[in-house]
Amino acid sequence: MYHVNLIEQFDRGVEEMGREVSESCVESLVTEIVSSYCNGFYADKPELAARRIEAIGFQVGHQLSERYTMDRPRFTDHLEAIKFICKDFWSEVFKKQIDNLKTNHRGTFVLQDNRFRWLSRMSVDPSIETLGSIQDPSAMAENKAAQAIGMHLYFPCGIIRGALSNLGIPCAVSADISNLPACSFVIRIKA
Amino acid sequence: MIVCVAVVGHQNNPLYIQSFTEADDALKLHHIVHCSLDVVDERVNNPKKSSPTLNETFLGLLYPTENYKVYGYLTNTKVKLILVTTDLDVRDADVRNFFRKFHAAYVDAVSNPFHVPGKKITSRTFAERVSTIVKSFGLSSAS
Amino acid sequence: MAPVAPRSGDVIFANVERVNAELFTLTYGAIVRQLLTDLEEVDEVNKQLDQMGYNIGVRLIDEFLAKSNVSRCVDFKETAEVIAKVGLKMFLGITATVTNWDVEGTTCSLILEDNPLVDFVELPDTCQGLNYCSILSGVVRGALEMVSMKTEVTWLRDMLRGDDAFELQLKLLKRVPEEYPYKDDE
């Protein structure tokens, strides 16, 4: 993996904010999406619940990329589009940029957010604090709290996939939380 | 006067096309829009390296016909916006201004949660907004 | 110790963490559309949105009380005003007008002329029975229940259906004594 410098070109000044709502509103919605789909209609079918949550994120990302690219030149390549996700897009949605971008130059990109807002602010099970020390991924898979977090992450994964897909970049997106509160999003571009 | 505007999806599927003439020349205008799509593709795939408009959404004058001037605009999401006018003396600023508003109207229309991506835009609000933008074309480039 | 004065909605909203409303509006829209796909029946979607709102209201009341310094409302009239001027403002950045009181002072309407939930939204003809903003009525019901007021909250007017404003009717059904927190006995 190669490190990609995010501090360069395209840095736009802080734009004037349009209409705003309290951040609690967005967090409340995300929490309700997850609990409705995981505890409600798809309680015994977690993979179906995951797909629905991801689909909701996909629509949001698809629409947001349309809005957030309105005043900028077209991207010339995938890297430029990914950098846009890391910077402008992330700033609009999470009020900070991605901290670290890596790529293997063969279509895989890893976006690391050192303090992913929806995990650090959301009221998830307190036992997640201990998760950072769990190294064995299989142990983690069995951990209920990790599963709950995983469900929450289908939403931002869907947002990223929706945004890139609308920019003409079909891809698969997954999340890695082995380093909480850091969270990495892995984007694999489909050839 | 603007005689026709269109929104065309990334697979050249028409999402919205509206003519603004009294005459029964919709078919001819649709044909002009259709032909302009190839010019857009041509421009984007073979950009003039020296051109200052490289990757700019506004593509400028696509081609003049005997009676019309056709302008194009390509969004980051590969949606084409087309403008057909009968005006001979068109100011660049007016066209840019038109596309900026037209694009904003399009973005709001596809932000409707019930809009299905790739499907025709049937929103009445969008149609009304576009008609207002068309009417105000060239009246003032300040706003 | 003198009680702390309640803070105005504007002051609270200026001090809470805020995000651009588009993210909120589009997320809500995507939820509604996904629910329509999954539940098929419009009535079921209305119910589900109301339930989601109720759950949110139950949780958000604590944040509301903590940030607003509102302690206890004298009567339902004051409660309605607090929702309209402080509650809606601190979360959604909007305010409502309280009107249409009945003689008993237990039923009134909140009139919203602006509502970030519906930016960009146009209902398709197939969804005319959809109460698009059901989540908001659920939030109000849930929050009030946490402060011992059992209410019925209903949308009377909806701009998405061509009305000139949004009208949310609040009806106080009963007050539950504070010592015995209301338990769900449905």
Strand order through the sheet with B80-85: B14-19, B2-8, B80-85, B69-74, B58-64
Structural domain boundaries, residue A167: 23-189
Task: Please check whether residue B100 lies inside any domain of the structure.
Answer: yes
> CB of B91 within 8 A of CB of B138?
yes
E strand or H helix at A154, and its extent? helix A144-166
Contacts of A23 in chain C (CB under 8 A): 16-19
pLDDT at position C65: 92
Structural domain boundaries, residue B67: 2-135
Q: How is residue A184 written in tokens?
A: 């990495």
Handedness of CA B22, B27, B28, B30 (dihedral sign): positive
Tell me which residue has tokens 């930016």.
Answer: C119
B55, B104, B107: residue with CB nearest A74? B55
Q: Could you report the per-residue pLDDT of A27-83, keeping only the tens digit for each? A: 999 999 999 998 877 878 888 999 999 999 999 999 999 999 998 899 989 999 999
Q: How many domains does chain B have?
A: 1
Residue A35 sits in a domain whose CATH number is 3.30.1380.20
pLDDT at position A179: 81
Task: Please check whether residue B11 lies inside any domain of the structure.
Answer: yes
C23, C34, C92: residue with CB nearest A93? C23
Residue B77 and residue A75: Cβ atoms within 8 Å?
no
> CB of C128 within 8 A of CB of C161?
yes
> CB of B62 within 8 A of CB of B40?
yes
Q: Which residue has better confidence, B52 or B108?
A: B108
Q: How many domains does chain A have?
A: 1
Q: State which residue of chain C sits closest to A33, comparing Cα positions.
A: C31
Q: pTM above the 0.80 mark?
A: yes
Q: How far is A81 from chain B (nearest CA, A)?
A: 10
Domain spans in chain C, listed from the N-terminal domain onward: 9-175
Task: Please check whether residue B140 lies inside any domain of the structure.
Answer: no
| First-residue to last-residue Cα distance in chain B | 19
ipTM of the complex: 0.89
pLDDT for residue B53 is more than 60: no
Q: Could you report the per-residue pLDDT of C135-185, keeping only the tens digit for each? A: 999 999 999 999 999 999 999 999 999 999 999 999 999 887 765 555 554
A59, A73, A166: residue with CB nearest B77? A166
Residue B95 sits in a domain whose CATH number is 3.30.450.70
| Chains contacting chain C through 3 or more C-beta pairs under 8 A | A, B
Domain C9-175 CATH assignment equals 3.50.50.60: no
Region of poorest pLDDT, from A78-82, B10-14, B85-89, C133-137: B85-89
> CB of B84 within 8 A of CB of B69?
yes
Q: How far is B103 from chain A (nearest CA, A)?
A: 8
DSSP assignment of B94-141 equals: HHHHHHHHHHHHHHHHHTSTTPPTTS----HHHHHHHHHHHHTTTT-S
* A-to-C residue pairs, Cβ atoms closer than 8 angstroms: 101
Residue C127 and residue B114: Cβ atoms within 8 Å?
yes
Q: Which residue has better confidence, C129 or C180?
A: C129
Give the integer Cα–Cα distance in Å for C167 and C158. 7
Q: How far is C120 from chain B (nearest CA, A)?
A: 5
pLDDT for residue C5 is more than 80: no
* Percentage of chain B modeled with pLDDT above 90: 60
Residue C120 and residue B114: Cβ atoms within 8 Å?
no
Residue A168 and residue B75: Cβ atoms within 8 Å?
no
Q: How far is B124 from chain C (nearest CA, A)?
A: 9
Q: How far is C18 from chain B (nearest CA, A)?
A: 21
Q: State which residue of chain B sits closest to C30, comparing Cα positions.
A: B113
CB atoms inside a 10 Å sphere around CB C161: 13
β-strand partners of A103: A2, A109
B55, B76, B113: residue with CB nearest A167? B76
Strand order through the sheet with A171-176: A2-4, A100-103, A108-113, A183-189, A171-176
CB atoms inside a 10 Å sphere around CB C157: 16
Contacts of B113 in chain A (CB under 8 A): 59
pLDDT for residue A127 is more than 70: no
Give the integer Cα–Cα distance in Å for C182 and B54. 65
Give the integer Cα–Cα distance in Å for B115 and C33. 10
> CB of C67 within 8 A of CB of C87?
no
> CB of A37 within 8 A of CB of C32?
no
In terms of Cα–Cα distance, which of C106, C110, C109, C74 is closest to C89? C110
| Whether B67 contacts chain C with CB within 8 A | no
- B96 phi and psi angles, rounded to 5 deg: -60, -45
pLDDT at position C82: 94
Residue C121 and residue B114: Cβ atoms within 8 Å?
yes
CB atoms inside a 10 Å sphere around CB C36: 19
Q: State which residue of chain B sits closest to A67, comparing Cα positions.
A: B107
Give the integer Cα–Cα distance in Å for C22 and A63. 10
Tell me which residue has tokens 């609000």.
Answer: B125
| Chains contacting chain B through 3 or more C-beta pairs under 8 A | A, C
Contacts for A113 with CB less than 8 Å, ≥ 6 apart: A90, A94, A96, A98, A99, A182, A183, A184, A185
Q: Considering only CB atoms, which residues of chain C are within 8 Å of chain A? A: 13, 16-24, 26-31, 33-34, 38-39, 48, 51-52, 55-56, 59-60, 63, 90-93, 116, 119
In terms of Cα–Cα distance, which of B114, B51, B105, B106 is closest to B78? B106
Contacts of B77 in chain A (CB under 8 A): 65-66, 69, 166-168
Q: Could you report the per-residue pLDDT of C61-117, keeping only the tens digit for each? A: 999 999 988 877 778 999 999 999 999 999 999 999 999 999 999 999 999 989 999
Q: Could you report the per-residue pLDDT of B20-46, keeping only the tens digit for each? A: 987 778 888 889 999 999 999 888 887
Q: For residue C140, count CB atoms less than 10 angstroms from its CB and return exposed for 0-12, middle for 13-18, buried for 19 or more.
A: buried
Q: Is the peptide bond before A181 cis (omega within 30 degrees of 0)?
A: yes
Contacts of A35 in chain C (CB under 8 A): 55
| Whether B41 contacts chain A with CB within 8 A | no
Task: Please check whether residue A7 lies inside any domain of the structure.
Answer: no
